[in-house]
Amino acid sequence: MNAAADPGAGRVLDADVGVVGAGPAGLAAAGSLARAGLSVVVLDEGQRAGGQIFRQPSPRVAGCGAAPPSHRRGRGLLAAFAQSGARLCSGVTVWDARPGRLWFEQAAESWLVRCERVLLAPGAYDRSIPFPGWTLPGVVTAGALQIMGRAGVVPGKRALVAGSGPLLLPTVAALLGAGVQVVAALEASPRSSAWRALPGLLGHGGRRAEAFWYLRKLLGARVRLRSGWTLFGCEGEDRVQRALIGKVDAEGRPRRDTARSIEVDVVGAGFGLVPSIELGLLLGCRSRCDPRRGGHCLDVDGEQRTSVPTVFAAGEVCGIGGAEVAIAEGELAAAAIVKDLRGVPVPPALAVAAARERRAADRLLGCFPPLPGLCDLATADTIVCRCEDVRLEQTRAAAALHGRSLRAIKVGCRAGMGPCQGRICGPSLQALANGLPGQPADLPVVQVPVKPVRVQTVLDAPRG
């Protein structure tokens, strides 16, 4: 008995287009593709479509507070998607891919999508920067806290939100909506960053309304967003009870003399986002490193085509840019795929719109450049790799003996070899281990499965 003799266990879906991700980019693209008459399968990790930004509240809880204006657009996208005829597979793990083939696991079943074109819209991860106490229960990423806020399941009453970039605001708003007191909201970038961001915010209709909505929310709850401050560490017995906060310099280096302790029982830390490029790398797509867009991102041409001709990419995977960019790029990618498969030319307005949104997003995010000094938050015994319990000093010893590359540090201390495969620690691992703040990480080596799946799923996988 072997798997080759038993190839029928898994199931096959045939479609014109396989889309990975049902966030703004995936939804916009899948809706357009289906309306153009193509058969579309959308594979999404979430239990419900929407992605991180337009996440629909769980049906078990009443909607927690009002939603920002952009969510009207999100609801529109979701409604259009629902009517488009595209097929959605939720709660799935895509674990292997080749051009025209996507293997996934859903509810312990093994599936294969066979398609003419693949569109990657998998979004991004929270960028984690290790600090003392970040592994305590009650300390989560800003993204996770936002999800908990929207679902009304925040594990605490007094929250601290700290990090950098525009995504702190939705996290604070989600907490306020869930009735949680936000004790402090700390933006590590200097105040000048926010001022520089202002023209970009005010000059863009969607963003202006969004920014005003969030600011009203914060003002109404008397939450002040403090610039040039961050979280130095968390303390507590079995879970977080106190946070040490203080000022940072313009590069993000902590000024220890300004440290003070505040009592909190839940902490969200979000230092920006990292594009989720693993599937793209597995498919053989070319990438490039753009620190202002979150690091390594997939390289696409003017119509969202990657270096692999049948694979397209849209949204955060092409560089962090936000929902407006994702929607515009999703629509453009869909049009380019329709051109490929149906010979219909791409409406020039779509490429113009996508480029305009990208420029606007680059300007906005350019106001919050990476802060290399935040590497100084971790101390020698701070855990850097949570999966394998590796501390900063062990990563430094590994780099000193085995070498400075990402591979060397991994083999030297097992950091990044656990279930997350370096998704959490990888982006800052090299800079931390080498003591070189701001050093960009080597491109990770991606192996099958991209995310853990059961042995049986691999055995049952239909042959491509």
Instruction: Tell me if 316 contacts another protein by CB under 8 A.
Output: no
CB of 446 to another protein, least distance (A): 10
Instruction: Tell me if 388 contacts another protein by CB under 8 A.
Output: yes
Q: Do 247 and 229 contact (CB within 8 A), yes or no?
A: yes
Instruction: Tell me if 401 contacts another protein by CB under 8 A.
Output: yes
Nearer to another protein, 290 or 442 (CB): 442
Nearer to another protein, 201 or 453 (CB): 453
Q: Which helix H or strand E contains 311, and what residues bound it?
A: strand 311-313
CB of 423 to another protein, least distance (A): 12
Query: Residues of 358-367 as b/e, b for ≥16 C-beta within 10 angstroms?
Result: bebbbbbbeb
The label of the residue with tokens 């996934």 reads 104
Instruction: Tell me if 421 contacts another protein by CB under 8 A.
Output: yes
CB of 420 to another protein, least distance (A): 9
Strands (E), 121-199: 124-126, 139-141, 158-163, 181-187
CB of 274 to another protein, least distance (A): 20
Question: Nearest Cα to 375, choosing from 315, 416, 436?
Answer: 436
Instruction: Tell me if 341 contacts another protein by CB under 8 A.
Output: no
Instruction: Tell me if 386 contacts another protein by CB under 8 A.
Output: no
Instruction: Tell me if 278 contacts another protein by CB under 8 A.
Output: no
* DSSP 8-state assignment for residue 47: S
- Which amino acid, one-letter code, is at 70? S
Q: Which stretch binds another protein (CB under 8 A): 69-77, 335-343, 365-373, 449-457?
A: 449-457
CB of 23 to another protein, least distance (A): 25
Instruction: Tell me if 114 contacts another protein by CB under 8 A.
Output: no
Q: How many chain residues are in contact with another protein, going by CB under 8 A? A: 31
The label of the residue with tokens 């590796």 reads 390
Q: Do 288 and 297 contact (CB within 8 A), yes or no?
A: yes
Strand pairing report for 109-120 and 101-106:
antiparallel
Instruction: Tell me if 12 contacts another protein by CB under 8 A.
Output: no
Considering only residues 24, 51, 228, 412, which one is a binding residue for another protein as defined by CB under 8 A?
412
CB of 362 to another protein, least distance (A): 34
Considering only residues 101, 404, 439, 440, which one is a binding residue for another protein as defined by CB under 8 A?
404
Instruction: Tell me if 3 contacts another protein by CB under 8 A.
Output: yes
Q: Using CA atoms, how far apart are residues 95 and 103, in angstroms rounded to an integer?
A: 6
Q: Using CA atoms, how far apart are residues 249 and 386, in angstroms rounded to an integer?
A: 28
Nearer to another protein, 309 or 419 (CB): 419
CB of 396 to another protein, least distance (A): 13
**HSE-up of residue 464 (Cα within 13 Å, Cβ side):** 11
Query: At CA 123, angle to CA 454 and CA 408, rounded to 5?
Result: 65
Instruction: Tell me if 2 contacts another protein by CB under 8 A.
Output: yes
Instruction: Tell me if 448 contacts another protein by CB under 8 A.
Output: yes
Q: Do 242 and 235 contact (CB within 8 A), yes or no?
A: yes
Considering only residues 87, 407, 436, 442, which one is a binding residue for another protein as defined by CB under 8 A?
407
Question: Nearest Cα to 342, choosing from 22, 98, 32, 88?
Answer: 32
Distance of alpha carbon 76 from its chain centroid, rounded? 22
Interacting residues toward another protein by CB under 8 A: 1-4, 387-388, 398, 401-405, 407-408, 411-412, 414, 417-419, 421, 447-449, 452-456, 458-459
